[in-house]
Amino acid sequence: MNTPQGILQAGELLNNTYIIEKLIGSGGTGEVYLAKNVVSGRKFAIKILKQEFSQNEAFINLMRREADVLHNVIDDAVVRYNELLKSEMHGGFVFLVMEYIEGPSLADLMQERGPIDAESLLLIAQRAGKGLMAAHAQNAFHRDISPDNFILPDGDPARAKLIDFGIARDISENAQTVVGGGFAGKYQYASPEQLNGDADARSDLYSLGITLLNAYRGKANRVGSSLMEIVKAKAERVDARDVPGRLGALITRLAEPAPEDRFQSAAEMLQWLEGAPLAPARPVDFEPTIIAPSRPTTGFQGLPDEPKASGGGGKFALLLFLAALGAGGWYFGLGPGREIVFPPKFERETPYSIRILHEANTRDIRISGNVRGPELGDSLVAELGQGFDGYGIIPDFTYASGEPNERWEQISASMAKLAAPLNSWVFEMVDETATLSGEAPDAITAGEVRLGFENNAALLDVEAVISLTIAEPPVLLADLNELIQTYETCGPLRITGGDGVQLGIDDRITVSGIIARESDVDVFDLVLEEATGGRGIDYNLGVLNEPVCLMESLLPPPQDNGMEILYSYGQKAGGPGAAPFRNGENPVIEVRLPASATGFLYAFYVDAEGQVFHLLPHQSRQAHTLPPIGEISGDQVTVRLSYPVSEASTSNVGFRVVEPFGTNMMVVVLSREPLFDGLRPRAESIAALQEALDENRDILQADSTMVVSRYLVTEP
């Protein structure tokens, strides 16, 4: 079996951050890879847009919208979106970093097992409802719900997750997909209105209904092979009589051809799933029954003729008019027949809706939707103005008939005013269902707004749906830097980001510094993810080892004191610069100081495994005072600490690089009085050296003591 090939290959490093492990899916517009973050070790799904589409602004906008909007959709039932990035590899492409979810798709299970049981599908429906409610609150509509866009971790329907918002996929060879103008989805699952380029929350609910139906049957429904056949099939009601009980009732309500006959929101669907009785908008019989209304019978009694001058004809016309009112007056403005005689002033809208919103950190309130005319629109604006003094009210009304009751504008204004304490909010009135979503500054405010909204809805006899989040307190960089100090393993760490003082909601942070081991990053991930509210974390870290880090902690802060450690090769000219010493090479080490320097000179080498080698002084080279040791040249003196192997002796230490490889450290100290009581062993442990330095910490930390250190890196 051939391994599928994609734009990227296993082992490639993407943007110096993600190692590609394998291709896990591909379609006409892009490919999805499994990748691992080289710093954190965590796995991600990388969705890339093929090069030919990476130059297409329409596709880029789709991905940008998907990343920007869905980054703020936080629900366990929706895949987590991290960031949208660009790579210059392979000619350049755009890619999206997402949460990686291990498990089969619902489509995989259908192919493997066939029909899925009703209990599992009800669990998936409940998960989908919660995820869609979170997404729709951000005005993010999926537009492509189908079995291959549900992933079930470990095959568990109770943990189902929705993936692939925004961009249509065409991975399935049987899935007819269009990407462009307004329709992005698969014909089998798309709602009727999507074929006209329209989509809203109810469109996702339709696709969910068809997904559940097909999963129960274990195969996709047939909707035809031509556009005419598809449009005709979508206009017909779905026959779900083979689906039992609650699942069948749910599918019937979700997959109504007319959006107004479906559940009007994911929240409404969830309420029904939690036990509210189903009230179908239309009977579910598939053979329509037409009942002709009985017309009232009217009898007229003839009256004696009167002289024409008396207006007998007029009396007769009046009696006919009164008789018509008495027996059939509902036809003349007192009932549903009113519009037959008196046409509406404006076009009828169904559903009748209005949307009022306030964005955070603005003084504007925007209104769009239906009112019954200019005067009532002005009345609604005036009423809102009383509740939002100092705000600009910006209306964009559509004058329409079809209002569900005579208090439409008054109810809308009074309910919207209850949102005033919120930081940001969206109020929607659809027929007689009032929905409020938004962000409260704290839990107490959220509770008060919720209670007031629900009580007011009960008094006004409308249905209330409310979904509030609590604003996160500002994340201050000073607090984060104080927190990270607790977890320093090798010198100071620094956190930057935001405006330099605090983080915005979409800001990432960068952790810089040196750590003792790579596993420290896992600790940072856990601690900082909670402290930053899940914001993204970038790392700019050098990884050393515990012995060298311990040595760093024992030394005073670096200072510009005129001391310098020099490296060169014993077997060839020149020095390594920033390159490491390799296996078998012979490092030559010198220290250069001001010629005026005086005192006791100490030099020791700390390796990656915690062994300390004293290069000066030691038993065979005890002289270590300045002057007289060293070679003076101008205003500098140079002291050799290790020698070429060809010149090595008992007193002149020389060595070659061997295992273990890694980061080692050379330290030189010049003190006015002896740093140690007598000679140290030629070699000892870092723990023994630490104990000796602790005993003489006052000498090591004295202002007159000069210290310099430098890493010496070795590689195979």
Would you list the DSSP string of 387-441? HSTTPEEEEEEEE-B--SSTTHHHHHHHHHGGGTTSSEEEEEEETTEEEEEEEES
pLDDT at 400: 93
Q: Name the more confident of 587 and 94.
A: 587
Lowest mean pLDDT among 6-15, 50-59, 197-206, 489-498: 50-59
Sign of CA dihedral 412, 413, 415, 416: positive
Banded model confidence at residue 526, pLDDT cuts 50, 70, 90: confident
Q: Is the pLDDT of residue 629 over 90?
A: yes
Q: Name the more confident of 311 and 34.
A: 34
CATH architecture observed for domain 13-99: 2-Layer Sandwich (3.30)
Region 602-615 average pLDDT: 95
Identify the CA nearest to 137 among candidates 427, 546, 500: 427
- Contact between 106 and 211 under an 8 Å Cβ cutoff? The reply is yes
pLDDT at 336: 38
Banded model confidence at residue 227, pLDDT cuts 50, 70, 90: low
Banded model confidence at residue 92, pLDDT cuts 50, 70, 90: confident
Q: Report the alpha-carbon distance of residue 17 to residue 14 in Å, rounded.
A: 6
- Residue 55 DSSP class: T
Identify the CA nearest to 572 among candidates 563, 559, 581, 564: 581
Banded model confidence at residue 259, pLDDT cuts 50, 70, 90: very high
Residues contacting residue 687 through CB under 8 Å, at least 6 positions apart: 610
Strands 161-162 and 177-178 come out as unpaired
Q: Does domain 106-273 have CATH number 1.10.4190.10?
A: no
Identify the CA nearest to 268 among candidates 371, 132, 163, 177: 132
Q: Report the alpha-carbon distance of residue 17 to residue 9 in Å, rounded.
A: 15
Residue pLDDT, tens place only, 404-448: 888 889 899 999 999 999 999 999 999 999 999 999 988 888 889
Beta strands in 299-423 (DSSP E): 353-358, 364-371, 392-399
- Contact between 692 and 549 under an 8 Å Cβ cutoff? The reply is no
For the segment(s) 475-543, the CATH number from 1.10.1760, 2.60.40, 3.30.1050, 3.30.70 is 3.30.70
Domains 106-273 and 353-470 share a fold: no
Q: Is the pLDDT of residue 175 over 70?
A: no
pLDDT at 430: 94
pLDDT at 29: 67
Q: Report the alpha-carbon distance of residue 14 to residue 19 in Å, rounded.
A: 6
- Contact between 46 and 24 under an 8 Å Cβ cutoff? The reply is no
What number of other Cβ atoms are within 10 A of residue 585's Cβ?
A: 16
352: left (phi over 0), alpha (psi -120 to 50) or beta: beta
Q: Which two tokens stand for residue 499?
A: 């405006």
User: How many angstroms from the chain centroid is the CA of residue 146?
Assistant: 21
Region 167-174 average pLDDT: 32
Task: Round the average pLDDT of the chain to a whole number and report it.
Answer: 82
pLDDT at 47: 87
Identify the CA nearest to 671 among candidates 650, 644, 697, 689: 697
What number of other Cβ atoms are within 10 A of residue 620's Cβ?
A: 11
Lowest mean pLDDT among 68-72, 425-429, 438-442, 703-707: 68-72
The beta-carbon contacts of 44-47 under 8 Å, at least 24 apart in sequence, are 44/18, 44/82, 44/97, 44/98, 44/99, 44/100, 45/79, 45/97, 45/98, 45/99, 45/100, 45/101, 46/14, 46/18, 46/20, 46/95, 46/96, 46/97, 46/98, 47/95, 47/96, 47/98
Lowest mean pLDDT among 228-237, 240-249, 323-332, 410-419: 323-332
User: How long, in residues, is the chain?
Assistant: 716
- Residue 154 DSSP class: G
Banded model confidence at residue 698, pLDDT cuts 50, 70, 90: very high
- Contact between 535 and 509 under an 8 Å Cβ cutoff? The reply is yes
- The angle, 0 to 180 degrees and rounded to 10, between the axes of the packed helices 118-137 and 245-254 is 40
Q: Report the alpha-carbon distance of residue 425 to residue 713 in Å, rounded.
A: 57
Residues contacting residue 73 through CB under 8 Å, at least 6 positions apart: 81, 134, 135, 138, 140, 165
- Contact between 97 and 83 under an 8 Å Cβ cutoff? The reply is yes
Q: Is the pLDDT of residue 91 over 50?
A: yes
The domain limits of the chain are 13-99, 106-273, 353-470, 475-543, 548-715
CATH assignment of 548-715? 2.70.50
Region 302-321 average pLDDT: 36
CATH assignment of 353-470? 3.40.1520.20
Distances (CA, A) of 449 to 456, 466, 470: 10, 9, 12
Q: What is the DSSP string of 575-628?
A: --TTSPEETT--EEEEEEEETT--EEEEEEEE-TTSEEEEEESBTTB---EETT
Q: Which two tokens stand for residue 209?
A: 């209904």
Region 356-373 average pLDDT: 94
Find the angle CA(683)-CA(687)-CA(688) to the nearest 5 degrees: 55
99 burial (CB, 10 Å; 0-12 / 13-18 / 19+) is middle
What number of other Cβ atoms are within 10 A of residue 169's Cβ?
A: 25
Residue pLDDT, tens place only, 182-192: 334 477 788 88
- Contact between 98 and 82 under an 8 Å Cβ cutoff? The reply is yes
Region 628-645 average pLDDT: 95
> Which helix or strand (DSSP H or E) is residue 468 part of?
strand 463-470
3-state secondary structure (DSSP) of residue 46: strand
Identify the CA nearest to 278 among candidates 303, 296, 251: 251
Q: Name the more confident of 518 and 280.
A: 518
51: left (phi over 0), alpha (psi -120 to 50) or beta: alpha
Q: Report the alpha-carbon distance of residue 124 to residue 444 in Å, rounded.
A: 33
Identify the CA nearest to 453 among candidates 431, 423, 429, 473: 429
3-state secondary structure (DSSP) of residue 134: helix
Q: Is the pLDDT of residue 296 over 80?
A: no
Distances (CA, A) of 77 to 80, 126, 223, 415: 9, 10, 29, 30
Q: Is the pLDDT of residue 287 over 70?
A: no
Q: What is the percent of the chain where pLDDT is above 90?
A: 49
3-state secondary structure (DSSP) of residue 543: strand
pLDDT at 337: 37
